[in-house]
Copies of this chain bind each other. A is one copy, B any other.
Amino acid sequence: MIIDCHGHYTVAPEPHRQFREAQLKWLDNPSLPDPVPTAISDDQIRETIEPNQLRLQQERGIDLALFSPRASAMAHHLGDERTALPWARKCNDLNKRVVDLYPDNFVGVCQLPQTTTTPIANSIHELERCVNELGFVGCNLNPDPSGGHWTSPPLTDRSWYPFFEKMIELDVPAMIHVSSTCNPNFHATGAHYINADTTAFMQFIQGDLFGDFPDLRIIIPHGGGAVPYHWGRYRGLADMLKRPPLDRHVMKNVFFDTCVYHQPGIDLLFDVIDIDNLLFGSEMVGAVRGIDPQTGHYFDDTKRYVDALPISKEDRHKVFELNARRAYPLLDAALRARGL
């Protein structure tokens, strides 16, 4: 079985986007009527999923994707508590409909109603709802709800702890995932995403989050940002900061996905990172949608790169399936319940 740990509903039907637009207009002018979602039909969902994610899954031989709302549209920096929760609920509910229409192909991962002004504890209820009522198996946690100004404390700060406690209680991991940015220095998918991955990893080196939460599981997407490429730097910094070696200090709790869009990058990832820490992911349809003129294949067809690796059948099985089932125990339970 091949599980893609990193998929977003990037092609949601137009009325979904219109609801968000109405929300943002209402924020500018609260005398406008309350934004009301337009109905979205099952057919509208089918029309977006089937020619995109579902087609690509089938073409590439991927069985199942962990599927969350579009990351760039979370936009936690826009709006406040009044809009963040309705928007997150709407996004999660829409994703649940995708899962219900294609239960063999998608399993839900939720967006959180984070804002720059409310504590992360305010996201606990939506996490519980998504896990307990919608059957989702994980969440996307934004370390920078400000959208590129980085005004929140580091992930190792105790203010995040109530959320981590709830994650452990529910037995779900978080993918560290920022959203779009309002800082013109940072292109979202070309700089902000990658920087956030690198930043989170370095925070984990500096702190002792996994000493406090030995059962916490974190996925750092986009191949771990810059980390595997600079693995020597990070090993050396852990040493300079008198932290334990990375395999004990961080890598018992952290996974990297395979969203690295060329063969040399994937080769390096598998060369330096232990196989048990790698989850197959593609981020499709997502950041980079084109075809690589050097290969004639989609940049984000990461399965081709993994297929090309000279690794054992057992290791391939870990990356494609077993590690994801270990990182997401509720996914594993759901698959077992289906006899898988």
* Contact-residue bracket for chain A: 35 or more
Whether A239 lies near B290 (C-beta < 8 A) is yes
Asked whether any CB of chain B lies closer than 8 Å to the CB of A265, the reply is yes
Q: From residue A258, how far is it (CB to closest CB) to chain B in Å?
A: 12
User: How far apart are the CA atoms of A45 and B176 in the complex, in Å?
Assistant: 46
- CB-defined A-B contacts under 8 Å, sample of 9: A143-B185, A154-B184, A154-B185, A186-B202, A191-B198, A194-B226, A223-B229, A225-B226, A236-B287
Q: Which residues of B contact A290 (CB under 8 A)?
A: 236, 239-240
Q: Is A326 located at the chain interface by the 8 A CB criterion?
A: no
Known: A226-B225, A299-B236. A150 touches B260 (CB 8 A): no
Q: Does A183 contact B (CB under 8 A)?
A: yes
What per-residue 1/0 map shows which CB atoms of A209-241 lie under 8 Å from chain B? 000000000000011011011111111110110
The reply to whether the CB of A292 lies closer than 8 angstroms to some CB of chain B is yes
Bound together, the chains give a CA A154 to CA B186 distance in angstroms of 8
List the B side residues contacting A265 at CB < 8 Å.
229-232, 268
The interface of chain A, by Cβ under 8 A from chain B, is 143-144, 148-150, 152-154, 183-187, 189-191, 194-195, 198-199, 202-203, 205-206, 222-223, 225-226, 228-237, 239-240, 260-262, 264-265, 267-268, 271-272, 287-290, 292, 294, 299-300
Q: Give bound CA distance, A44 to B198, whole Å.
A: 38
Q: 7 closest A-B pairs (Cβ-Cβ)?
A: A232-B262, A232-B261, A226-B226, A236-B288, A229-B229, A190-B202, A195-B195
Q: Is A287's CB under 8 angstroms from B195's CB? A: no
Other contacts beyond A187-B206, A240-B288: 4, CB < 8 A: A191-B203, A232-B265, A233-B262, A237-B287
A289-B206 contact, Cβ under 8 Å, with A229-B268, A230-B261, A233-B299? no
Q: A150-B183, A184-B154, A226-B226 are in contact. Are A287 and B231 (CB under 8 A)?
A: no
Q: How far is the CA of A206 from the CA of B229 in the complex (A)?
A: 23
